[in-house]
Chain A
Amino acid sequence: MRALCWYGKNDVRVISVPDPKIINPHDAIIKITLSAICGSDLHLYDGYIPTMEKGDILGHEFMGEVVEVGKEVKKLKQGDRVVVPFTIACGRCFFCQKDLWALCDNTNPNARMLEKLYGYSGSGLFGYSHLYGGYAGGQAQYVRVPFADVGPVKIPEGMSDEQVLFLSDIFPTGYMAAENCQIRPGDTVAVWGCGPVGQFAIKSAWLLGAERVIAIDEVPERLRLAETAGKAETINFAEADVFDQLKEMTGGRGPDACIDAVGLEAHGTTPDALLDRAKAAVYLATDRPTALRQAIHACRKGGTVSVPGVYGGFLDKVPFGAAFAKGLTFRMGQTHVHRYLAPLLSRIQKGEIDPSFVITHRLTLEDAPYGYQIFRDKQDECIKIVLRP
Chain B
Amino acid sequence: MSASERSLADHPQSHHTIVHRIPAGPMGRHRQINISENERWVSGLGGGALALYGLRHGGFGGILLALAGGSLIYRGVTGHCDIYHALGISTSEKGGLNASVRHGEGIKVEKSVTINKPPEELFRFWRNFENLPRVMSHLETVRVIDEKRSHWVASAPAGTTVEWDAEIINEKPNELIAWRSLEDSQIPNAGSVRFERAPNGRGTEVKVALNYEPPAGSLGSLVAKLFGEEPAQQVAEDLRHFKQVMEAGETPSVEGQPSGRSATSGRQK
List residues of chain A with CB under 8 Å of any chain B CB: 1, 3, 5-7, 13, 15-21, 23-26, 53-57, 72, 88, 90-94, 97, 105-109, 111-112, 124, 133-136, 144, 146-147
- The list of the 9 closest CB pairs from A to B, nearest first, reads A55-B260, A5-B260, A90-B248, A55-B261, A106-B248, A17-B258, A109-B252, A55-B259, A18-B258
Which chain B residues border A55 with CB–CB below 8 Å? 259-263
B233 in contact (CB, < 8 A): yes
B247 touches A109 (CB 8 A): no
Q: Is the CB of B251 within 8 A of A109?
A: yes
Do A23 and B255 have beta carbons less than 8 Å apart?
A: yes
Provided the pairs A15-B260, A17-B262, A57-B259 are in contact, do residues A24 and B253 lie with their beta carbons within 8 angstroms?
A: yes
- Residues in B whose Cβ lies below 8 Å from that of A26: 248-250
- A88 to B257 Cα, complex, angstroms: 16
Query: In the complex, A23 Cα to B250 Cα: how many Å?
Result: 10
Tell me if B258 and A20 are in contact (CB < 8 A): yes
- Shortest distance from the beta carbon of B235 to any chain A beta carbon, whole Å: 12
Report, as a range, how many residues of chain B touch the other chain: 20 to 34
A-B contacts, 5 of them at CB < 8 A, read A16-B266, A17-B264, A23-B257, A92-B248, A106-B243
Q: Hey, which chain B residues are within 8 Å of A135, CB to CB?
A: 254, 257
A54 proximity list for chain B (CB < 8 A): 260-261
Which residues of chain B come closer than 8 Å to A144, judged between CB atoms? 257
Q: How far is the CA of A94 from the CA of B236 in the complex (A)?
A: 19
Residue of A nearest to B203 (CB): A94
CB pair B251–A17 under 8 Å, yes or no, is no
Interface contact B260-A17, CB-CB below 8 Å: yes
- Would you call B108 an interface residue if the criterion is a C-beta within 8 Å of the partner chain's C-beta atoms? no
Residue B240 interfacial (CB < 8 Å):
yes
**B249 engages A57 (CB within 8 Å):** no
Q: Chain B residue with minimal CB distance to A72?
A: B249
Cβ–Cβ < 8 Å partners of B263 in chain A: 5, 15-17, 55
By a CB distance below 8 angstroms, the chain B residues around A7 are 260
A146–B114 Cα distance when bound, in Å, is 23
B114-A3 in contact (CB<8A): no
A6 to B259, CA, bound (A): 10
Task: Give the residue name and chain of the B residue nearest to A24 (CB).
Answer: B250
B237 at the interface (CB under 8 A from A): yes
Chain A residues with CB under 8 A of B244: 90, 105-106
Q: Does B236 contact A112, Cβ atoms closer than 8 Å?
A: yes
Those of B74-126 within 8 Å (CB) of chain A? 114, 116
Q: Is B202 an interface residue (CB 8 A)?
A: yes
- B115: shortest Cβ distance to chain A, in Å? 9
The answer to whether A136 and B252 touch across the interface, beta carbons within 8 angstroms, is: no
How far does the alpha carbon of A124 sit from the alpha carbon of B258 in the complex, in Å?
17
A55, A91, A134, A144, most chain B CB atoms within 10 A: A55
